[in-house]
Amino acid sequence: MNPHQAKVSVVVIGYDDAAHVADAVRSALAQGPAVREVIAVDDRSTDGSAALLDTLAEGEPRLRVIHRPVNSGGCGSPRNDGVDAAGAPYVMFLDSDDVLPAGAVDALLGAAEEHRAEVAAGLCVRRELPSGREVPWERALYARPALISRPSRRLRLAHDTLCVNKLYRTDFLRGHGIRFPEGRHPYEDFVFTARVLAAAPRIALIPDTVYIWHVRRTADRLSISLDRAGIDNWRARTEANREAYEILLGAGEKRLARAVRAKFLDHELRMYTRELELRAPGYRTAWWDHTRAYLSTFDADDLGVNPSAPGRLVARVILACPAPRDLPRLRELAARPARLLPPYTRDGDGRPVWSADLPEVALEDFLGRPAHLLPAAVDAELRPRSRGTRLRLRLHELYGRMAEAGPASVDVAFVHRDEGRVGLRGRAALVADRHGDSWCAETPVELSALGAGVWDLRLAVRFHDGTSREVSAHALGGPGLLRRRAVTDAHHGVLLVQPYRTHAGALGLRTASGLRGLTGVVSRRLRRLLH
């Protein structure tokens, strides 16, 4: 190994993760001669992780193991230990249940050295397990190589709060005293990232995938970002956002501080709002009260720019109401893409407003925005039949803006949830109803072409003016809808079909082919009856 090439320390942290930590360490060592050392910090594990790491280190001189004397309760302290121990010019972080893809370190190190950047960052991919479906994180930010001479020149940097898809100059972190919060501090990377941005580093961005974030939704111990059922998780998330905002504001980075709040409104607030109906009444009340208190610290500039953007509109409704209300409508508005369901109310002066009893939440901004940027709502119903299944769609008017653009047709696609492939694709004409307040379309669905799987319905409304709007469909309930059916099928014999409503209110479809699928459903029903 050429010592001049060995310039990176990879800090791997873990606690009670013996099932995965060896894979993480090996993925770091496999990066090649650019890695001078892998520093594995065990946070006082009780499952044998520490002994496993010691065994790995016996045959690998580049692996150093640090055993913390007591468990820290979080991720920040072990990462700080790793930075303190790092002996290479650059350092990066890896969690025990994730991996580095081949070539990640070389790509980041090359960009950092070419541009003399204190930070190099690349694309992180969330890999859903066991399906293997991959979802890029902040794809647009890493679409092409770029050198950012100062973070305030690329405000989107405030949206990528991950610390793990980046390479840092070790002396930059030490010289500016940039550390993670110690102890139990959920969302510690929000605070760390804000401290990095506040120090105004040169940042090199690359389009390469440099980190694989494993998402295990069925794990016995959920990650912090997935364990959202308790109100403490939401309180921790808002506190981390508040700290990040104050760090940047205190450093004179006002525009980046506002970007932190913009990210909170568009990402965190919408995500938790989509799930609010699933929670118990006590949680809803506590969440609503805490959210109102936090949003009350935002000023007019935080909420007034583009006031009818989905996250900002959700925030305005919450601020205007002392108790939870309109949760189904807020859930749909928080979806991606956003949907604003009727009623579309006007006040006595003809101004668009949220509702008759909440006229202070004005929606006048809708009147000046292009139709293809509005939260159009499309109702959908799917009735599986052996003689032919049809999808019925209804696009709602929205304060006259839909009619102004002229809905012409709607593109329909069923996309496999795990594989991302399109199983069915089609286009249907939109026809105005006799009342002039909606447009309807109907198209056949060839269920046998889909096969087994979970399918998302994706739509694109095309207007006569040449623009289009991507929408997801609001799943209608009612008699005969959203229920499982077994239909005969020439290709599969029996096809089990269930339209269903997602957590965000959209229409999805589950299919299982043949006798095996039917047997599985019957056995699950029997288990429920017996238990």
For residue range 332-360, list pLDDT tens digits in order.
999 999 999 999 999 999 999 999 999 99
| Mean pLDDT within 237-264 | 97
Answer yes or no: are the C-beta atoms of 129 and 214 closer than 8 Å: yes
- Predicted pLDDT at 529: 44
pLDDT of 531 strictly over 60: no
Contacts of residue 406, Cβ cutoff 8 Å, sequence gap at least 6: 463, 464, 465
In the numeric block, the tokens 């003809």 are attached to: 350
The dihedral built from the CA positions of residue 51, 53, 56 and 57, taken in this order, carries a sign that is negative
- Predicted pLDDT at 483: 83
d(CA 222, CA 307): 35
| Mean pLDDT within 321-329 | 97
| DSSP three-state, residue 67 | strand
Outline where 374-501 has alpha helix (H): 401-405
Give the number of other CB atoms < 10 A from CB of residue 218: 7
Q: How confident is the model at residue 308 (pLDDT cuts 50, 70, 90)?
A: confident
d(CA 338, CA 335): 5
d(CA 208, CA 117): 17
In the numeric block, the tokens 């623009």 are attached to: 467
Mean pLDDT of the chain, nearest integer: 92
d(CA 459, CA 381): 13
d(CA 415, CA 220): 29
Higher pLDDT, 82 or 530: 82
d(CA 217, CA 229): 13
| DSSP three-state, residue 513 | strand
Q: How confident is the model at residue 220 (pLDDT cuts 50, 70, 90)?
A: low
pLDDT of 289 strictly over 60: yes
- For 90-138, the pLDDT digits (tens) are 999 999 999 999 999 999 999 999 999 999 999 999 998 888 889 999 9
- Predicted pLDDT at 525: 46
Tell which residue, 333, 201, 196, has the closest CA to residue 269: 333
pTM of the model: 0.91
In whole angstroms, how far apart are CA 109 and each of 31, 168, 308?
A: 11, 9, 42
- For 498-523, the pLDDT digits (tens) are 999 998 899 999 998 765 555 554 45
- For 160-199, the pLDDT digits (tens) are 999 999 999 999 999 999 999 999 999 999 999 999 999 9
Residue 63, beta-bridge partner list: 38
d(CA 92, CA 219): 26
In the numeric block, the tokens 């997801």 are attached to: 472
Token code pair at residue 50:
């520490």
Q: How confident is the model at residue 223 (pLDDT cuts 50, 70, 90)?
A: low
Answer yes or no: are the C-beta atoms of 427 and 346 closer than 8 Å: no
pLDDT of 480 strictly over 90: no
- Predicted pLDDT at 519: 53
The number of angstroms, rounded, from the C-alpha of 433 to the middle of its chain's C-alpha atoms is: 37
Element (H, E) at 85: helix 76-85
d(CA 157, CA 473): 31
- Predicted pLDDT at 115: 97
